[in-house]
Amino acid sequence: MSPRTRSDQAVGRHGFDRAVRRHGWVSALSVALAGLGAMVVVAALGLWAAGATDLPQDAFPRVVAATVVTAVGGTVELSGNAGGLADTRAGLTVIPLSVTLVGALVVAAGFLRPLRHRAVAGARELAGWAARIAVVWLLGLLALALAARQTFEVSLGGDTLNDLGDLFGVRPEVGFTTDVPLTLLVGLLWLAGVLLLALLVSRGAPLPARLLRFQESVRPAAYAMVALLLACVVLGLVVALVVAATRGHAPETLAVVLLGLPNLVWLVFTIGLGATWNGRVEGPFGLPMPHVLDEVLRGEETAALNLSSMAEYDGRVWWLVVVDAVLLLGAAFVMAARSPAGTRAWRHAVHMAVALVLTVLTICLVGRVSAHYGLTVLGINDLAGLSGDLFLHPEVWSALGLAALWGLVTGFLGALLARPVHRRGQRPPPPGQG
């Protein structure tokens, strides 16, 4: 081995050691705890606004823990027990995306902070930094998963029914617990996705040298899609604040904002593209959404939730198409303006279509809602009106096809709109030429 080679390796090791000191275990601890802490605060405030502090047996902290677990894709299992002569059934699948979004933003910002002002970072350095965050993250998530378990006794709803319950030994109970191994696995994948997306979105984040060739095509599209989703949330927040100020119901509105605002606005965004969601609301359940959406879904049969069905109740929903068109043109313009000069318009259109398809697919996967509860005593269903069923699922393939079409059109138009904008790689005109 030549002296120069040994010197280069020594410099590389020294640089890596400095990187470890710059973002070591203390920094990893602060990033992971800041992310989990932000999610706990948002979940607690949202559940407080929803009235969860009145839950019996001091269950509020455990419900908060369960909410954070579901926010990172973890599994919370519902269980029921009503004695030998009765049967209970319960299930819940929903992701509180407000909590998810806050945690993702905090973790991404903490992950990128020590990497700023650098052009290139080694794969070993990035992997080590991410691994340290992951270790602390998994320990914190494990503590929340172990705390997220509780059992409640369900009242039968009246003196006579309670007397019958005492006679037959029926003591309905419903509880929740977590699948700890699955929660840790999914939580780790969630963290990996957040860190990867942070590297893709941030123009100032360094990449390993082998991946630099992909940043010109991937980063502008990734940034545009994140900006699009955040713009939908901001727009929804403005509407929610106006509704709370003019129509009241401030606690309920605050609960929706802090727990499920992205669930609602991203659903509405896909409907504005022309997508269809199938669902039903039956029994005491309800969806945190405008009255027109609940009206379409409430009934005994599965209903299609789309522009046509909603327009039967309120013709103003057609404005969603206009809002989506403006948002997508803005995203396409941003993507083209951040792309290298000389990229052809048709290539912008393809990049926009692919990015929008992936974005809509993500919304379809995380926006699904499913909840059911039922109590049967001596073969009698829906005792005391406690049974209910709620679900909302997208028609995925049609939604993706529409997203591709919208992406091609708006990507091409956005490229044309961005032509006058000075972009990276574009040389200024010679003196004397405009």
Other C-beta atoms closer than 10 Å to the C-beta of 296 total 21
Q: How far apart are CA 164 and CA 380, in angstroms?
A: 13
Helices and strands in the chain: count of H runs, count of E runs: 14, 8
User: What residue has token string 């840790």?
Assistant: 184
DSSP per-residue letters across 89-102: EEEEE---HHHHHH
| Chain segment 268-290, per-residue pLDDT in tens | 999 999 999 998 877 655 555 56
Tokens of 89: 């059934």
DSSP per-residue letters across 41-110: HHHHHHHHHTTGGG-STT-HHHHHHHHHHHHTT--EEEEEE--TTEEEEEEEE---HHHHHHHHHHHHHH
Q: How far apart are CA 202 and CA 218, in angstroms?
A: 11
CA distances, 41 to each of 45, 254, 431 (Å): 6, 14, 57
Q: Find how far residue 180's CA is from the centre of its chain.
A: 21
DSSP per-residue letters across 360-398: HHHHHHHS-EEEEEEEEETTB-SGGG--EEEEEEE-HHH
pLDDT of residue 91: 63
pLDDT of residue 139: 96
Q: What phi, psi does 169 have (nearest 5°)?
A: 70, 35
pLDDT of residue 88: 52
pLDDT of residue 409: 97
Q: Are 306 and 316 in contact (CB under 8 A)?
A: no
Sign of CA dihedral 124, 126, 130, 133: positive
pLDDT of residue 155: 53
CA distances, 190 to each of 25, 71, 117, 395 (Å): 20, 10, 26, 24
DSSP per-residue letters across 102-161: HHHHHHHHHHHGGGTT-SB--HHHHHHHHHHHHHHHHHHHHHHHHH--EEEEPP-SSHHH
Q: How far apart are CA 313 and CA 333, in angstroms?
A: 34
Q: Are 107 and 36 in contact (CB under 8 A)?
A: no
User: What residue has token string 């007397």?
Assistant: 163
Provide, for the chain, the percentages of residues in helix, strand and coil under a 3-state DSSP scheme, each rounded to the nearest 5: 65, 10, 25
In the three-class reduction of DSSP (H, G, I as helix; E, B as strand; rest coil), residue 298 is classed as strand
Q: Are 327 and 273 in contact (CB under 8 A)?
A: no
Contacts 24+ apart (CB under 8 A), 374-381: 374/88, 374/89, 374/90, 375/80, 375/82, 375/86, 375/87, 375/88, 375/154, 375/172, 376/86, 376/87, 376/88, 377/82, 377/85, 377/86, 377/164, 377/165, 377/168, 377/170, 378/85, 378/86, 378/168
pLDDT of residue 173: 61
- The pTM assigned to this predicted structure is 0.84
Q: What is the CA radius of gyration of the chain?
A: 25
Q: How far apart are CA 137 and CA 383, in angstroms?
A: 43
pLDDT of residue 391: 82
Element containing residue 174 per DSSP (H, E): strand 173-178
Sign of CA dihedral 46, 48, 50, 56: positive
Residues of the chain with pLDDT under 50: 1-17, 19-20, 82-87, 156, 158-170, 376-385, 428-434
How open is the CA angle 227-253-322, to the nearest 5 degrees? 45
User: What residue has token string 């209910």?
Assistant: 388
